[in-house]
Amino acid sequence: MKPGHQVLLLQGGAAFFPALVDAIDNSVHEVRLETYIFHFEASGERVAEALVRAARRSVAVYLVMDGVGTPEVPEAWAQRFAEAGVHWHRFSPLGSLGYLLPVRWRRLHRKLCVVDARVAFCGGINILDDFVDPHYGRQASPRFDFAVQVCGPLVADAHRAASQFWRRMQATRQLEHLQLGGAHEFLMESIQPLCVPAQLAHDTNAPQSAGAMAALVLRDNVRNRTRIERAYRKAIGEARQEVLIANAYFLPGGKLRRALIHAARRGVRVRLLLQGRYEYFMQYHAARPVFGALLAAGVEIHEYSLGFLHAKVAVVDGRWATVGSSNLDPLSLLLAREANVVVEDVPFAQTLRAQLTQAIESQGVRLDASLYALRPWRQRCLDRLAYGLMRLGLFLTGRRY
């Protein structure tokens, strides 16, 4: 955690996309963008246009999309990217065996953008319009989500992470190309030799006495397997007054559940704002078996009712906050590449807390512990089935949770 950061909270695509496009349009040397979903309509087209404009003025542009979240790139946009010189790649498409291979469950889920190694964006917002759901189409209410725009020392860490990830993908793709002897897909995805622009200023020697304390916290399957979960557990363990978490896909492991329960039992007010709408079977049912113990300990669970909740944020004691891509579930905490920004700054934390408190009070439906205990047997069976399937999936990956 280092001082000297300027951190701006961005709620929803209405705030995020104009800031992102503006940063890309003002880029001089390089743009690196990673996302799980890149949807080439509405807001996504505006971002794609900005990337093309940057590449045409000789900015080095590198775009990585997840191969599941972004199943394909429209041919017209593939052509435009190629003509402009945008370097792009879809990370680990499923292939013919799909989800049968547990190794394919390791997804690129982080949403990270670094422009000229000066400014970084990190959060939960995909390149997807607020009112569009990939499975359910156009929505009446915008998705509830957050990102941050950051200037300061952690930008160098974000740039390093994005650069290293691209180089590793480059090496892997070139090796596969040589082994398989096929060039068609390799050329179609415009994977070109890495062109690092002239020295980018990280401003690491700039004065750092002012601004927020902040850090970039990554999760991967090599050196950073548990960093995000440990950051949560440490903040919850040190909480004295309040823990406030909004998370779209919530199924914490035993250590994190115990941290929440212990906090509630020592008098900390613990409030969870979770997805209230049924999105898919595992998302809805697998989390239910853990709710009972949390409710019994005094943890408040509020389900977001206005639309789809996609946020992955938290505030502790009105001074510590995190905004990022990591859900509190096995896919995020054990398998996916994730990125969160952790901030220790009272004004920033209070701004995020105000947004979450308003959502809880105006769009949240609180679960009643006694009514939850009386839920129908059919729902209990579905909950246990989903939970069991989740445990089986983790067993197949060789991970304990």
- Token digits of residue 277: 């709408």
Examine the residue annotation and report whether 25 is marked as an active-site residue of this protein: no
Catalytic, out of 5, 29, 285, 312: 312
Q: Which of 66, 310, 329, 345 is catalytic?
A: 310
326's CB contacts (< 8 A; 6+ apart) are: 109, 219, 228, 312, 332, 333, 336, 338, 339, 340
For the question of residue 202 being annotated catalytic, the response is no
Environment class of residue 99 by beta-carbon count within 10 Å: exposed (0-12), middle (13-18) or buried (19+)?
A: exposed
Measured at the alpha carbon of residue 362, what is the angle toward residues 122 and 263, in degrees to the nearest 5? 65
Residues in the chain: 401
Task: Choose the catalytic residue: 29, 39, 111, 285.
Answer: 111
Q: Is 116 a catalytic residue?
A: yes
Catalytic residue among 116, 129, 157, 383: 116
Active-site choice (25, 133, 203, 317): 317
Question: Is 2 a known active-site residue?
Answer: no
Q: Does the annotation count 129 as an active-site position?
A: no
Q: Which of 109, 159, 285, 302 is catalytic?
A: 109
> What's the burial of 272, exposed, middle or buried (CB within 10 Å: 0-12/13-18/19+)?
buried
Does the annotation mark 317 as catalytic?
yes
Radius of gyration (C-alpha) of the chain in whole angstroms:
21
Active site positions, annotated: 109, 111, 116, 310, 312, 317
